[in-house]
Amino acid sequence: MGQLKRMIAGLLSAVLIVSAFTGCAGKGDISSGAAEQDFPVTIGTVTLKSEPAGVAVFSPSLADVILAMGYEISLKAKSEDCDQEDLSVLPNVDPSNPAAVKATGATLALFETNPGDEVTAALQKEGILSLILPAAASRSDLERLYSEVGAAIKGGSTGYQKGIKTANNIYLTLDDITRVIPEKDSPVTVCYLYDAKGKAATGDMLAGKLIESAGLVNAFAGSNGGQASTEALTISNPQYIFCAEGVKKQLQESAEYKKLEAVQKNQVYEMNPTYMERQGRGMIQAVSFMAGTVYPELLEGNLPSSKPSESSSSAPASSGSSSSSSSSSSSSAASSKAPASSGQSAGSVPSGTYKRGDKSDAVKALQTRLDQLGYMFTAINGEYTAGTEQAVKDFQYLNGMEVTGIADTDTIVKLNSSDAKKREN
């Protein structure tokens, strides 16, 4: 019996020792959630011992993620294809020139795809860690992407949690758009084409999920790898086709594609390709553009059969811009229905309190001001619809106010002030 007790005691001691070591290792590991501390932090197989002195980003999509999180102050350099206006002051560097990267003060390089062992080894010799963060493929994976970017820049606790919050806020905004989609008896099938050679937003891509967020059926939901055959497109025969700039003309001139219903009915709409290529605020623009094109009543504010807004929509929304853009396809429903704000004077919003259901010229002035600041994604028509409510929530959130969706006195004062924060593109 005494020997048995000693064996049990020994086993318990071993378990406690293992648990102790496991707990220490987990303090900086974010694989299962936020770390107990900011640094050191382990992301995949890479461990950052301290906050990077500077970051070089070599992916325009990751650059969008960093902008969405408000961490662009940490950037020291970028690749040339990171063409965001907010990053125009940063020097363009090539990762294959590690000395040039080091000269910018960057100690961390962020990649979306593997640049190759030769590049990462050369950067390592210059004291620059390389971190590869693949694009997100789903809603939950977007949290993974944002949390990893945040953790890499600001640590496994602070940055990780900021990433989760930002990703959730983006999807809360998308959910709010989804909630105001009119209910239809039959689904509307659409697709998104990156080119006229088969590159498309398929079901295994986050871009494919954005189509569903717009209340639409993705014709290529069953396809994978970002590729869809001409046969698949012909069989699905989508009612609407969204595509990158320059693709519409190619479809109209193609013997195979010009037979499609969308092409014959001139329901092919081009939009800024970055909306479907990058995983920052542009995703909101993609969804609002597609939804506003197929459901123009969204932009008119006339939604008698809309799904009611739920309580969860009161959560703060993303810091992304949601005004749609149509390039050469200026005849699209979205662009023709949504008033542009560029030619409107700033003006001021009359004092008072405005909420969902209100209809007046004062509400129209409120919408105009929100549009000028980059928050409106529905029409300016004087009706305080769900879209206006969401725009107010976004404004309140980005300006550090209580998020209610009601334009109260404090909100109006802030809207009329010179330091009202704009929503960045």
pLDDT at 424: 59
Under the banding of pLDDT at 50, 70 and 90, the label for residue 177 is confident
The per-residue pLDDT for range 210-264, each reduced to its tens digit, is: 999 999 999 999 999 999 998 999 999 999 999 999 999 999 999 989 999 999 9
Per the CB < 8 A criterion, the answer to whether 108 and 131 are in contact is yes
Per the listing, tokens 């704009």 go with 422
The Cα–Cα gap between 336 and 106 comes to 45
Report the C-alpha gap between 206 and 127 in whole angstroms.
Answer: 34
The whole-angstrom distance between residue 379's C-alpha and the CA centroid of its chain comes to 22
pLDDT value of residue 396: 87
Q: What is the residue-averaged pLDDT of the chain?
A: 84
- Say if CB 388 and CB 378 are below 8 A apart: yes
Confidence of residue 2 (pLDDT cuts 50, 70, 90): low
**403-423 pLDDT, tens digit each:** 788 999 999 999 999 999 987
Question: Which DSSP category does 222 fall into?
Answer: T
Domains and CATH numbers, the chain: 41-172 (3.40.50.1980), 184-310+317-338 (3.40.50.1980), 339-418 (1.10.101.10)
Cα torsion 281, 287, 292, 297: sign: negative
8 Å CB contact between 284 and 174 = yes
Percentage of residues of the chain with pLDDT beyond 70: 82
Pairing between strand 41-43 and 46-48? antiparallel
pLDDT tens per residue, range 124-171? 999 999 999 999 999 999 999 999 999 999 999 999 999 999 999 899
Rounded Cα–Cα distance for residues 280 and 69 (Å)? 9
**Can you tell me whether residue 158 is helix, strand or coil?**
helix
CA 399 – CA 417 distance, rounded (Å): 11
CB distance 149 to 135 below 8 Å: no
d(CA 296, CA 306): 13
